[in-house]
Amino acid sequence: MKEMKKGLEGVVALDTKISYIDGIQGILKYRGVNIEDLADLSYDAVSYLLITGKMPDEAELSEYSRMLVENRHINGKLIEVLKDFDFGVEALDGLRTAISCTAHFDEKNNHHTPEANRNKAIRLVAKFPTIVAALHRASFGDKPIEPMNNLSHGANFLYMLSGKIPTELEAEAMEKDLILSAEHELNPSTFSLRIAASTISDMYSAVICGLCTLKGPLHGGARKGVMDMLDEIGSIDNARDYALGKLERKEKIMGFGHRVYKTLDPRARIYKDVAKRLAEENGDTSWFDMAEELEHILYHEFIEIRGKPIYPNVDFYSAVVYKYLDIPAELATSIFAMGRVSGWIAHCMEQYSDNRVIRPRAHTV
């Protein structure tokens, strides 16, 4: 038996056309397009690109957006079923259960034709934000807010959450967040989804595998961890003691480090810029300043202790963006999933299109 690689580090498990990462140069592409060029598009356009493999022209984008808007509504029974559960600490638990229920409401759930899968894809992308917003409101006994058709995917989510139409910058920030979260090659949640898809399990089941894997604090759950950490630090004056204490106790600092990037995650650079602009619009830059101070402290401390710096990953400045958007920490992982669902679906379809069941070996010790 060949050598075992703990955590499958560096192991190439499959071919993909969906995304490309150069972890040394800090390059990320979706379907051959640099993330910097995608960040200014709409989430709908990026979702279309990921799922179909083609950049939409004007007519294709308008038709795709129309189908997403048409499918934003959720079955009223869903909230009835879920409203009495307590998802207070981690809303992703509610989202996971809701997607399972949504599969039951979809009579084509177990149909496996390309057409049935395309329709499931539209429903999933369209309904994720409505479910997240409605469940959050239900946890306070508030009624869901109907989607507003003329708002973008991201702006409509913020509207359904609070009932307020977001400012132009807030809407842009939410769209960018969903785009930057949408896809990242063979990350843990996508890998788990591809294993499920490789058994020809249905798309809902595969997406639920993705959700369950995203939840952990070493993956998508780190975004909530960063929000909690910023609350705990409380002030820029406490950042150094907090960081040094963590390092001394050999505890992981949420939102830092990455298996693939050995330089700054290109998504973190874009998030940082959005967070700074939101801070300035807000007139209170304290969350941003605290985060930037932590970034600088850790960069230099890691050089001192380990001879190489550590960089923020995608979850660090996204958490700062959520702070300025008034998003509660318990929603952070679900919002990550709202973006990631397009990438998951793209991987699910790619796996179905050229399948062999994924079944590695273990080395018995």
Catalytic residues: 258, 315
Q: What's the residue count for the chain?
A: 365
Kindly state the number of chain residues that form the binding site for ligand SDX, as judged by CB under 6 A.
19
Strand runs (DSSP E) across 49-112, as ranges?
Answer: none
Nearest to 244 by CA among 293, 206, 286: 293
Burial category of 194 from C-beta neighbours within 10 Å (exposed 0-12, middle 13-18, buried 19 and up): buried
Of residues 2 and 250, the one with the C-beta less far from ligand SDX: 250
Cα–Cα distance measured from residue 356 to residue 200, given in angstroms and rounded to the nearest whole number: 10
Nearest to 282 by CA among 244, 325, 315: 325
- Residues 158, 193, 314, 345: which binds ligand SDX (CB under 6 A)? 314
Let me know: does 215 contact 90? Beta carbons within 8 Å.
yes
The residue with its CB nearest to ligand SDX is: 257
Cα–Cα distance measured from residue 185 to residue 29, given in angstroms and rounded to the nearest whole number: 10
Let me know: does 39 contact 179? Beta carbons within 8 Å.
yes
Cα–Cα distance measured from residue 2 to residue 197, given in angstroms and rounded to the nearest whole number: 26
CB of 313 to ligand SDX, least distance (A): 4
Tell me the per-residue interface mask from 100 to 139 with ligand SDX, x by CB under 6 A, - otherwise: ----------------------------------------
Neighbouring residues of 171: CB distance < 8 A, sequence distance ≥ 6: 151, 152, 154, 155, 158
Let me know: does 190 contact 344? Beta carbons within 8 Å.
yes
Tell me the per-residue interface mask from 184 to 203 with ligand SDX, x by CB under 6 A, - otherwise: x--x----------------
CB of 356 to ligand SDX, least distance (A): 23
Of residues 116 and 260, the one with the C-beta less far from ligand SDX: 260
Let me know: does 106 contact 121? Beta carbons within 8 Å.
no
- Tell me the window of 57-65, 80-88, 130-138, 312-320 that interacts with ligand SDX (CB under 6 A): 312-320
Please report whether residue 315 would count as binding ligand SDX according to CB under 6 A.
yes
Of residues 240 and 259, the one with the C-beta less far from ligand SDX: 259
Neighbouring residues of 191: CB distance < 8 A, sequence distance ≥ 6: 13, 213
Of residues 72 and 347, the one with the C-beta less far from ligand SDX: 347
Please report whether residue 90 would count as binding ligand SDX according to CB under 6 A.
no
Exposure on the CB side of residue 318, measured as CA atoms within 13 A: 33
CB of 1 to ligand SDX, least distance (A): 22
- Strand 27-30 relative to strand 33-34, pairing: antiparallel
CB of 9 to ligand SDX, least distance (A): 7
CB of 62 to ligand SDX, least distance (A): 29
Please report whether residue 173 would count as binding ligand SDX according to CB under 6 A.
no
Tell me the per-residue interface mask from 229 to 268 with ligand SDX, x by CB under 6 A, - otherwise: -----------------------xxxxxxxx---------
Residues 210-229 that bind ligand SDX (CB under 6 A): 218-220, 222
Interface residues with ligand SDX (CB under 6 A) are 7, 184, 187, 218-220, 222, 252-259, 306, 313-315
